[in-house]
Amino acid sequence: MSAADGLLESFAGALLDPDRPLPPGLSTWNGSAAAVRFGVYRNNVAVSLAGALADTFPVTRELVGDAFFDAMARCFVAAEPPRSPVLTEYGDTFPDFVAAFPPAAGLPYLADLARLELARVRAYHAAEAEPLGAEALAGHLGDPDRLPEARLTLHPSLAVLDSAHAIVSLWAAHQGRGRIEEVDPDLAESALVLREGDDAVVLAVGHGSAIFIAELASAPLGMAATAAAECDPDFDLAQTQALLIRHGGIVAWHLPGDKAP
């Protein structure tokens, strides 16, 4: 490591950790107290990063309150500084941090709710892709003998979350859909997240549907359906396929032997 790199690392480390000493050789242009000026700068950076987290995880913040969230966010900022200059990318590991944050241990659903919010942000910024229309998909669905070997490419914005907690109901209640006091957070729920138009939507799906959609990333349709049915006897393949079609979740359909487009 060069001397310049060492100074830069020392400056960045001290900037994000208030317990570290000031960088060596720090001075101000007008002779004012370097520690005071650096403290102001340090606070501005911490506030900006905590604000970026609040923008990504607004429901998480509402659930715990501003003071708790801000304190948790500052701990995260000190432990995991940004690795990208793009603030919208900051916070990818925040849900895992929440899961291991001792003061949040009494809210076991909080980390999964944060994962749901992160999935919405990722969906909003995901690449564009044109969904297959109902007419094109009808042709594929009309050949039931080859359905099991079909491989589906899902929309880049799509994600599923399978939680032991009522993350969809908690999130929806904070959007004005339902009453928060009527939600039992200990009820398991699964979520489908994807972008429709200019919005990232959150849809409640069954446990089997979540497994099926997740399996499609690496398995043909038949194997994905079998895995879902083994875990959830109430799994409905036709209903899940219809949901994906209705919300534009399928962008390509491949069969063995198909030529690359």
2-32 per-residue burial string, b: 16 or more CB within 10 A, e: under 16: eeeeeeeebbeebbbeeeeeebeeeeeeeee
Q: Please measure the distance between the N-terminal and C-terminal CA atoms of the chain and give it in whole angstroms.
A: 48
What pLDDT, on the 0 to 100 scale, is given for residue 3? 45
* Other CB atoms within 10 A of residue 84 CB: 9
More confident residue, 156 or 142: 156
Distance CA 174, CA 59 (A): 7
Q: 149-197 pLDDT, tens per residue?
A: 999 999 999 999 999 999 999 999 999 888 888 999 999 999 999 999 8
What's the pLDDT band for 62 if we cut at 50, 70, 90?
very high
> pTM of this prediction?
0.85
Residues pairing with 205 in the sheet: 190
What pLDDT, on the 0 to 100 scale, is given for residue 41? 56
Distance CA 189, CA 146 (A): 32
What pLDDT, on the 0 to 100 scale, is given for residue 237? 95
87-97 per-residue burial string, b: 16 or more CB within 10 A, e: under 16: eeebbeebbeb
Residue 261 clears pLDDT 80, i.e. is over it: no
Q: What is the mean pLDDT of residues 89-97?
A: 94
Q: What is the mean pLDDT of residues 12-18?
A: 62
Q: 64-75 pLDDT, tens per residue?
A: 999 999 999 999
Question: What residue spans define the domains of the chain?
Answer: 1-107, 112-261
